[in-house]
Amino acid sequence: MNLKTHYENLYDKSIERILSDNYEIDHLINSPLDSRFGITLLIRPSTSIKNEIQKFLNILKRIDPNQYYYENSDIHITVMSIISCYNGFKLEQIDITKYIEIIRESLLNMSNLDIEFKDVTASPSCLMIQGFMSNDSLNELRDQLRDRFKNSNLEQSIDKRYAIQTAHATVVRFKEKLNQKSKFLEVLEKYRTHTFGTFQVKTMELVYNDWYQRDEFVEKLSEFTIKNE
Helix axes 96-106, 137-150, angle to 10 degrees: 140
Between 168 and 155, name the one with better pLDDT: 168
| pLDDT tens track for 45-82 | 999 999 999 999 999 999 999 999 999 999 999 999 99
Q: Say what percent of the chain tops pLDDT 70.
A: 97
pTM for the full predicted model = 0.94
Helices (H), 3-119: 3-19, 47-63, 96-106
| pLDDT tens track for 140-156 | 999 999 999 989 999 89
Distance CA 171, CA 70 (A): 5
Per the structure, the count of domains in the chain is 1
Distance CA 100, CA 114 (A): 23
pLDDT at 224: 97
- pLDDT band at residue 157, thresholds of 50, 70 and 90? confident
Which CATH number fits the domain that encloses residue 118?
Answer: 3.90.1140.10
Q: Which domain, by its residues, includes 184? A: 3-225
